[in-house]
Amino acid sequence: MSHPRLFCPTLTAGVLTLQETESHHALHSRRLRPGDPVLLFDGRGHDAEGSICDAEDQPAAQPTSRRPRKRGRSTCVRVAEVRYVPPPDRQLTLLVAGCKGPRLTWLVEKCTELGVIELVFIEFERSVVRVGPKHLEKLRRTAIEACKQCGRLWLPEINARGKLTALVPEAADGDLLVAHPAADAMPLGKWLHEHRTLTSEFSVVIGPEGGLTPSELDFLKTSGGRLVRLSEHVLRVETAAVAAAAHWAAYQEPTRS
């Protein structure tokens, strides 16, 4: 049985105090007690085995002149050694439209599990949902939980960067693909098979529910975008994002044994 995984953004050797959300998860959800083994990760390629500390091992609280707000009990973990795994050589960025409610959360969760390196939410001409700072805070927490569940060490970057026309020239450092249901578009699986040893970084643009406008398609083609097809049928935003990520993940080599 694998040890419980906990997120610790400042991961070093020694005695570490977990964030409040992780402490609650350790003590109440997992019911961990002193001496129980855990695995910590920082979302930047580092992880470490550790164990929950006894109460006497926990650092003393620092004095403060302010009245502290009520908090749950903190949890400390003793770590002996921190390991590092580099990011994958081949990286996928999704430039994607926002979608509503739980569908947006599901998109982030599944794309995190599949190894997407960055999710950039863009405003298209037919966009209905604008992803803002409040969305991003919750979505980043979703990504942490997904990493804990699936064993991933690198958190994806999750950003919202305005309109398509302002972003693509900056984002398309590698190959730029555009998900589109056109019959003459190359299937993404075929494109990946033909480029599996050539492409290290690429981005896939996934438009909104109403589709890309003719002017957006022209702009993307002018920017070097290549149309690829994900399915025989028209897909919703979150389905298209996961389909693109799943196609890509099938061609990746494992980053660690």
Q: What is the CATH number of the domain that holds 64?
A: 2.40.240.20
Residue 254 lies in a domain: no
pLDDT on residue 2: 81
Q: What is the pLDDT of residue 201?
A: 86
Shared domain check, 132 and 239: yes
Query: For position 99, which CATH number holds?
Result: 3.40.1280.10
Residue 113 lies inside a defined structural domain of this protein: yes
Are both 79 and 129 inside the same structural domain?
no
Strands (E), 151-218: 157-163, 175-179, 186-187, 201-206
How far, in Å, CA of 231 to CA of 210, rounded?
Answer: 17
What's the pLDDT score for residue 68? 42
The reply to whether 131 and 224 lie within a common domain is yes
pTM: 0.88
Q: Are residues 164 and 75 in the same domain?
A: no
| pLDDT recorded at residue 58 | 58
In a domain, 214, yes or no: yes
The answer to whether position 180 is within a domain reads yes
Which range marks the domain in which residue 39 is found? 5-84
**Per-residue pLDDT for the chain (257 aa), expressed as one digit of tens each?**
589 999 999 999 999 999 999 999 899 888 999 999 999 999 999 999 999 997 555 554 444 344 444 455 689 999 999 999 999 888 999 999 999 989 999 999 999 999 999 999 999 999 999 999 889 999 999 999 999 999 999 999 999 988 888 776 555 456 899 999 988 899 999 999 888 766 688 899 999 999 999 999 999 999 889 999 999 999 999 999 999 999 999 988 766 54
Q: Domain check: are 178 and 217 in the same one?
A: yes
Boundary-marking domain end, from 69, 84, 99: 84
- Shared domain check, 111 and 79: no
Tell me the CA end-to-end span of the chain in Å, nearest whole number. 17
Listed in sequence order, the residues at least 6 apart from 155 whose beta carbon sits closer than 8 Å to its beta carbon are 43, 44, 112, 140, 143, 144, 147
Residues 71 and 100 grouped into a single domain: no
pLDDT at 64 (0 to 100): 36
Total structural domains within the chain: 2
Indicate whether 143 and 201 sit together in one domain: yes
Identify whether residues 133 and 231 lie together within a single domain: yes
Shared domain for 20 and 77, answered yes or no, is: yes
Task: Please name the amino acid found at residue 198.
Answer: L
Last residue of a domain, one of 63, 84, 105: 84
